[in-house]
Structure 1
Amino acid sequence: MNRQDTITLTGITAIGYHGVFGHEKRDGQPFVVDAVLHADLAAAAAADDLTKTAHYGEVAETIAGLIRGESFDLIETLAVRTAEAILGGFPNVEGVEVTVHKPKAPIQVPFGDVSIRVFRDRAPRSVA
C-alpha cells in the first residue's frame, strides 16, 4: 500500500559557505533547511520500533553537516546533495522534499527569503 506518511523537519540552521561570490565562501552565512520525509510509518508504529522509521535526530545532523560541509556555488546543489544523502542514509525513507533557504542572499533590493525546493524518491528514472 502506498501511504502518504511524512516526517517533517523545519528550520535546521547552520552557517555554510555556499555562493558564487568570494565573500560568501570566505565569510559564510546562515542557511536554513526544511525536509519532508516520505515513508510508510505503519510498521514503525505497530512495533513501536525506531529502526523501522527514520531517526529524525540523525536526519537533522546529516542536514546540518551538509550545510557546514563542502562549499557549493549553488544552493540548488546543496538541496540535491541533501536529498541524495537522506535517501542514501535512511533506507526507510521512500522520498524526500528538501527546501534550502538563503535568507541573507546577496540581493540588492529588499526581500524576505530565497529558497530552492527539490523532490527526490527511489523511483527508477529514465535517462534521456
Structure 2
Amino acid sequence: MPCWGKECIVIDKIYVNGMEFYGYHGVFPEENKLGQRFRLDVMLEVDLSKAGKTDDLTFTVNYADVYQICQEIVEQKVYKLVEKVAEEIAQSLLQKFSLVKQCTVKVIKPDPPIPGHYQSVAIEITRGRT
C-alpha cells in the first residue's frame, strides 16, 4: 500500500465475475419479447484492511448481495440499452454498500442480433462517489 506522509492510498478490489442472467433488454421488439442471456462482471473498490485484520463480514461486501442486486436489475426490469442496465447496477451498488468507493460494471451481450458474426458485445462503466 503506497503511503505519502501519514496518508495511505488503499486500492483493494472485489471481483464478482461471470454472472449470467436472462433478461429482455434491447432496442428490437424481438429482444424484448424473446429475451436473451447477459453476462456481468463487477469490480468494487473497497478498503479491505479491516476485513482482513478482523475476519468480520461487516467490513467487506457480501458477494451474494452483489449477485442479488445484479440479478434483480437484469431479470426484473426491461431497458433498451445495456448502458442503462450497467448504470442502474452501478448506482444500486454504490447506494447499498457505503464501503464501496468506486465500482466498474461490465455488461456482456452474447450473440447480439446484428448483422455479421460477433461472439459478443460489451460495455463497461466505472462510477464512484463524489
Same fold (TM over 0.5): yes
1:67-106 paired onto structure 2 within 5 Å = 67-106=74-113
Q: Secondary structure at the match of 2:31?
A: helix
User: How far apart in 2 are the matches of 1:113 and 1:26?
Assistant: 20
Q: Deviations over 1:31-85 (max 9, x none)?
A: 0010001000001111111011000111011111111021000000001111101
List runs of 5+ in structure 2 lacking aligned partners: 1-7
Structure number with larger C-alpha Rg:
2
Question: Which of 2, 20, 30 is matched with 2:27 structurally?
Answer: 20
Cα shift at 1:2:
2.5
1:2-41 paired onto structure 2 within 5 Å = 2-41=9-48
User: How far apart in 2 are the matches of 1:62 and 1:81?
Assistant: 10
Equivalent position amino acid for 2:117 in 1: P
Identity of aligned residues (%): 34
Equivalent position amino acid for 1:20 in 2: V
Relative to the length of structure 1, the TM-score reads 0.93
Higher strand share: 2
User: How far apart in 2 are the matches of 1:99 and 1:12?
Assistant: 10
List runs of 5+ in structure 1 lacking aligned partners: none
Aligned counterpart, 1:66? 73
Q: Secondary structure at the match of 2:50?
A: helix
User: How far apart in 1 are the matches of 2:76 and 2:112?
Assistant: 18
Relative to the length of structure 2, the TM-score reads 0.91
Structure 1 consecutive aligned stretches of length 4 or more whose deviation exceeds 6 Å: none
